[in-house]
Amino acid sequence: MGENRGKFWSSQDVVDRFVRNVVSGDRSRIENQIAGMQISPGSSVLDIGAGPGTLAVPLALMGCRVTTVEPSAPMGAAMEEYRRTVNAPPIREIRSRWEDVGPEEAGVHDVVIASRSLIMGDIRNSLLKMDAAARRAVHLYWFISSPSVSGGNAELWPALHGEPYYDEANADVLWNVLCQLGIYANVKVDARDRIRRYSGFDEMKQDFYNRFFVKEDWQREIVDAFLRDQAVPDGSGYVVLGSSRTAHIWWEKDDPSPDQSVSV
């Protein structure tokens, strides 16, 4: 399923919709994340799975020297457009999956962030590499309950593909892996409403077709029936309502060494 997810997030339509929700949606989550990390202006930051710059661009505006790791070219282009629009300083980009980034390319930074981007096959080594790349702190954001419960995975996936839906490991598993590595991290839980917005029913259908890898007409009929039951009209468009619980997992490191972060 990982390969399919990579294709999903490289789709221009998917990226455009995601960016639209980031820019015009409720920004309180982003503001709370940045406030909660307490990153000092001027810090060097490595943002893994940066998407369209959801955190990277605001941090750059704060005066941080930001490097991003993001495999999706459309996401990278969206981040550059976002950065230019708000006149943020340049951001160094590594166009790759975190698993494929070597230590020299990643460099060492004051703070390492991975927000909602922890779909990694070898999570143990991925976490060790994050810890090695951080001088002061690592901040992870991941779901406690599946982000897709309200999006129909439990209901739709079996009907569409004839097998149960197996979601990624939740934040409790992530925290236990850290414990096994000798990293005893802090945890804070955030619960909030989760809303997907669409300009029309056709756009909403296409998004769900992409999310569930729908190819046959009979599958489309199942998705359409689900959306007619679950979607809520909202002005000129539709919303799909739900909720999510996210864990902020972080640990701080005692490294008083001077800043020797990679600069390009």
Residue 259 in any domain: the answer is: no
d(CA 76, CA 190): 28
**Average model confidence (pLDDT) for the chain?**
85
Q: What is the per-residue pLDDT for 219?
A: 95
Range of the domain at 74: 2-146+166-195+244-252
What's CA 201's distance to the chain center, in Å?
Answer: 25
Q: What is the DSSP letter of 164?
A: -
Residue 31 in any domain: the answer is: yes
Residue 47 in any domain: the answer is: yes
Count up the domains in the chain and report the number: 1
By residue count, the chain amounts to: 264
Q: Which of 60, 108, 111 is nearest to 87 (CA)?
A: 60
What is residue 99's three-state secondary structure? helix
- CATH of residue 12: 3.40.50.150
d(CA 186, CA 190): 13
Residue 261 in any domain: the answer is: no
Residue 29 in any domain: the answer is: yes
What is residue 98's three-state secondary structure? helix
Residue 203 in any domain: the answer is: no
Residue percentage of the chain with pLDDT more than 90: 50
pLDDT digits (tens, 9 = 90+) for 52-73: 999 999 999 999 999 999 998 8
- For the chain, where are the alpha helices, taking DSSP H only? 2-9, 12-24, 28-37, 56-61, 73-85, 103-106, 123-133, 153-161, 171-180, 201-211, 217-230
pLDDT digits (tens, 9 = 90+) for 190-206: 877 777 788 889 989 98
